[in-house]
Amino acid sequence: MPTLAPLDPSLLRRLDALQLAIRRMRWGSVLGGRYAIARRGSSIEFADYAAYTPGDDIRSIDWNLYARLDRLYVKTYQEEVELSVEIIVDATASMALPTPKKFERALQLACCLAYVALVGRHRLRMSWIAPGAPRATPWCTRRAHVNRLTEWAGRVAPQGTVPMAEWMRNAVAGLRIHGGQAILVTDGLIAPAELFKALHGLMMQRVELKMLQVLTPQELHPARMFRGGVLVDSESGQTHELAYGAEELERAVLAHNEQLSRFCTRQGIVFAQHQLDESLEEAVLKTLPSHGFFE
């Protein structure tokens, strides 16, 4: 059974400074961590002032500030709102090809994402897209739980093929996914329509989505591996005749990935692509923050 090494403590210390980026609050989540957002009116902790607009509670107006500036301002406060975080890792056979290091890196990225969520005091669990009924870890709430998550993740081996949309439907029902945020870690090497249907199934549950595509340099430049002949699908076993040239193959892969990126942009899904020739540290400290995963 494959194992996953614990994350480097020095990397974890640098992750302590990050927070999950949240574009909008999704209500209706029963389980979750607590996330502070600015609200007008009385609440937990004073945050800032905001210009008065009609409809604001007049009790929140700072009259001392009005006396000095002759303008109306209201006090805003930090209110803690519950948020659940689901990290869903693709564990189908394609994630182990063309090298097992791709799945290992996907798990490392998932554990880093989990750690940042736990630092933010969110409740988090991790699940795997694999044959059979959807499986998930128990809910975790403390940053120290990242070692347990790493241990659980290390027991997972990529295998088989799974219709992703069907898996998502089963996961929504079986794991009771509703509200909060979900982060999908996958290579995205399935029919775009199938992936879009799976993502739509999550969006229907009032989930804010992020998608992280993990690929090897060989997959981004497949012409370096194939020069014609027959290609065998690692998951379904189906064969495909390669009747096109190297440049056409490169364009087809580029078009596929651009289609995924465009769909995510249109649907408000945060999207990033990670290549294995980029280090784990650079990915989580630079690439993911720059694409809106972290603040």
Is residue 62 domain-shared with residue 91, that is, in the same domain? no
How many domains does the chain divide into?
2
Is residue 181 domain-shared with residue 258, that is, in the same domain? yes
Question: Helix, strand, or coil here: 169?
Answer: helix
Residue 70 DSSP label: S
Is residue 126 domain-shared with residue 253, that is, in the same domain? yes
**Integer CA distances (angstroms), 174 to 73, 133, 150, 178, 219, in order:** 48, 8, 23, 11, 33
Residue 268: predicted pLDDT: 93
CB-based burial label for 149 (10 Å; 0-12, 13-18, 19+): buried
Average pLDDT on 154-168 reads 95
The model's pLDDT over 254-294, given as tens digits with 9 standing for 90+, comes to: 999 999 999 999 999 999 999 999 999 999 999 999 999 99
Residue 1 lies in a domain: no
0.85 exceeded by pTM: no
Residue 235: predicted pLDDT: 53
CB-based burial label for 265 (10 Å; 0-12, 13-18, 19+): exposed
Is residue 215 domain-shared with residue 71, that is, in the same domain? no
- Answer whether residue 204 shows pLDDT above 70: yes
* Backbone phi and psi for residue 181, each to the nearest 5 degrees, phi listed first: -130, 140
Residue 137 lies in a domain: yes
Is residue 62 domain-shared with residue 161, that is, in the same domain? no
Residue 277 lies in a domain: yes
Helix ranges restricted to H, 158-223: 164-174, 192-203, 217-220
Question: 274-279 long-range contacts, Cβ below 8 Å, gap at least 24?
Answer: 274/105, 274/109, 274/212, 274/213, 274/214, 274/215, 275/215, 275/216, 275/217, 275/220, 276/99, 276/101, 276/102, 276/105, 276/214, 276/215, 276/216, 276/217, 277/217
Please name which of 134, 107, 137 lies closest in space to residue 124, comparing C-alpha atoms. 137
Residue 167 near residue 129, CB atoms below 8 Å: yes
Is residue 76 domain-shared with residue 166, that is, in the same domain? no
- Answer whether residue 92 shows pLDDT above 80: yes
**CA angle centred on 275, ends 3 and 128, rounded to 5°:** 45
Residue that terminates a domain, selected from 20, 53, 80: 80
Please name which of 85, 86, 84, 94 lies closest in space to residue 194, comparing C-alpha atoms. 94
Is residue 93 domain-shared with residue 223, that is, in the same domain? yes
Residue 273 lies in a domain: yes
Residue 88 lies in a domain: yes
Residue 3 lies in a domain: no
Provide the domain limits for residue 40. Answer: 34-80
Residue 41: predicted pLDDT: 45
Residue 168 lies in a domain: yes
Residue that terminates a domain, selected from 45, 80, 115: 80
Average pLDDT on 33-54 reads 59
Is residue 53 domain-shared with residue 15, that is, in the same domain? no
- How large a percentage of the chain has pLDDT more than 70? 80
Average pLDDT on 88-95 reads 96
C-alpha–C-alpha distance, residues 131 and 138, integer Å: 19
Is residue 166 domain-shared with residue 215, that is, in the same domain? yes
Which CATH number fits the domain that encloses residue 253? 3.40.50.410
Amino acid at 97: L
- Answer whether residue 33 shows pLDDT above 50: no
| Alpha carbon distance, N-terminus to C-terminus of the chain | 36
The rounded mean pLDDT for the chain is 85
Q: How many CA atoms lie within 13 A of 212 on its CB side?
A: 33
